[in-house]
């Protein structure tokens, strides 16, 4: 299963030393570079590679920013670009699991 993650799930899992659980649950975990920037001092494991969104994704983020943050927007767009099975993100303290398509 291919998953794209936003910043919050990574931060919360790292606080309880549970990032390795992601590798046990999913075949592929991806994060956009905007999320890597937002994690600041968090060292992501090698099984979570950062990805640069396409030029169309960058345009989408630029136009939509303000409604959501850069990392959230890049996460949504990368989920579409990679045909991810799920996009994991957390907004307003509520965990949301949404299929990337539909």
Per-residue pLDDT tens over the stretch 67-76? 788 888 999 9
pLDDT at 97 over 60: no
pLDDT at 102 over 70: no
∠ CA 78-102-62, nearest 5°, is: 35
Per-residue pLDDT tens over the stretch 24-81? 999 999 999 999 998 887 888 999 999 999 999 999 999 988 878 888 899 999 999 9
Helix H, strand E, coil C: the string for 69-85 is CHHHHHHHHHHHHCCCC
pTM of the model: 0.80
């Amino acid at each position: 299963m291919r998953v794209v993650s936003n910043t919050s799930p990574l931060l919360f899992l790292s606080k309880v030393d549970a990032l390795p659980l992601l590798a046990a649950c999913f075949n592929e975990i991806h994060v956009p570079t905007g999320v890597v920037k937002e994690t600041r001092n968090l060292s992501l494991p090698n099984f979570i590679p950062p990805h640069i969104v396409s030029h169309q994704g960058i345009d989408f983020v630029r136009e939509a920013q303000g409604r959501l943050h850069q990392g959230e927007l890049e996460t949504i767009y990368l989920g579409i670009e990679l045909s991810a099975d799920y996009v994991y993100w957390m907004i307003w303290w509520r965990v949301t699991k949404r299929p990337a398509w539909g």
